[in-house]
Amino acid sequence: RIKNRIYKIESDFQVGEINKSYIAIGCGSREAMGAIGMYEKFMCLPSSKKQVTEFLVKAIETVSEINTTVNNIYEIITQRIN
């Protein structure tokens, strides 16, 4: 079963299962994963969908300030876990 799991397919078609409840993809993914990981460890991840969206938008804006290949065009995809 793959329900409620996150997988990432690499450019060489290697498939990996992500052991976190979140993933970032694209050219700023390392910075974004670092930002989310630090927030998770030292603060706590937001709980409501609105708070999560606001946090992710701020993370993307922050990454775009330090990585010139990241811009503010993004799509946030959520999955409800039962």
Tell me the whole-structure pTM to 2 decimals: 0.53
27-36 burial, b for 16+ CB within 10 Å, e for fewer?
ebeebbbebb
- In angstroms, the CA 15 to CA 13 distance is 6
Q: What is the pLDDT along the chain (82 residues), one digit of tens a residue?
A: 467 788 888 889 999 888 887 788 887 788 878 877 877 777 666 667 787 788 888 878 888 888 888 777 778 877 666 5
Give the model's pLDDT for residue 1: 47
Helix, strand and coil content of the chain, in percent to the nearest 5, comes to 40, 10, 50
64-79: pLDDT as tens digits: 888 888 777 778 877 6
